[in-house]
Each structure stands twice: as C-alpha cells, then as structure tokens.
Amino acid sequence: MSRDFETVYALRSDVALQIARHIHRLGITQLAASRQLNVPQPTLSKIANGRTADLSLELLLRIAVRAGLRMTLQTGLIALEAGAFVAAGRPSSGRFFPSKLAARTRASIQESLRAGTPAERLEVFLEHNEFASEILEAGRAAQATSVPNQSRRL
C-alpha cells in the first residue's frame, strides 16, 4: 500500500471515528442522526461500523462540519502520523466535561499565544501539535493492547 493511500486511509478512519463518537454522545439513533446531518442512514451505518473504504475523505469532512465538529487534521512523513482530532469546543449534547488538566493546558496555551511574538506563537502551536500526536499514539497503542486480533473499528 502506498504512503499516500495509507495516509488518506488513516485520516478517513479517524474522521469517521470522530463522527461516530459524536453520534454516540448525542444518544440518538442512526436514522435520527441521518436526518439531522442530511446523510443517508446506510452511510452512517458504514461510518459507525468502520467501513469507510468507499467513502471519500471530503464526504466525511462535510458530515463532520454538519455535526459541528471542529476538526484538526494532521499528516506527517509516515502514514501512522496521520490523524484527525476534535478541536476545542463542546459537543452539542452538553455532556462533555473537560478535565482540569485539559483546562490548565488550554489556559497556558492561550496565555502563551497572547503574550508571544509570531515566532513564539508558532513554536507553541508546533509543540501543542507534537503533544497531540503523542496522545494519539498512546491512545492507539492502548487500544491495540486492549483489543488484540481485531481490526480498528468504531
């Protein structure tokens, strides 16, 4: 499999995962979600079951935008670095409670961005993205050890 295909596959899988998590947090049926997001229910079924091979990354991004998810996409030199992360903000369900660590981290980053020069702000942004990559890899490693012999599913 080529690097470009692997990267698109990783991004597509992660965006689908974020959409599926959003629908799960809302606690609504796929049919209700399909109406809310203006997407056919069979498409949401594919997303929920991790069958994204025939869905375009653009379609998944459009669905994420309709869901109100603010996404950050990351790519890198190898496909494993690719991923999609939900940016700041609360899901519309109102059930999201950020941790104290996340709140302190966000406040620290915001302060650094306000006080710094453009070069310093860029450095903070790059460090934040590096940290987010480490968190993603730790989560993937934990998921791989907790569910052996299964493909990555939503």
Note whether residue 137 is domain-resident: yes
Q: Which residue has the higher pLDDT, 120 or 100?
A: 120
Per-residue model confidence as pLDDT tens digits over 50-105: 898 899 999 999 999 999 988 777 776 766 666 777 764 444 444 444 556 666 66
Q: Are residues 102 and 92 in the same domain?
A: no
Q: Are residues 66 and 102 in the same domain?
A: no
Residue 6 pLDDT > 60, yes or no? yes
According to DSSP, residue 58 is labeled H
Q: Are residues 47 and 11 in the same domain?
A: yes
Q: Are residues 85 and 112 in the same domain?
A: no
pLDDT band at 151 (very low <50, low <70, confident <90, very high): very low
Phi first, then psi: give them for residue 52, nearest 5 degrees: -105, 5
Q: What is the CATH number of the domain that holds 33?
A: 1.10.260
Number of domains into which the chain is organized = 2
According to DSSP, residue 60 is labeled H
**Mean pLDDT, the chain, integer:** 76
Q: What residues make up the domain containing 138?
A: 98-149
Strand spans (E) along 1-147: 71-74, 83-86
Note whether residue 154 is domain-resident: no
Q: Are residues 120 and 62 in the same domain?
A: no
For residue 123, the model assigns a pLDDT of: 73
Residue % of the chain over a pLDDT of 90: 28
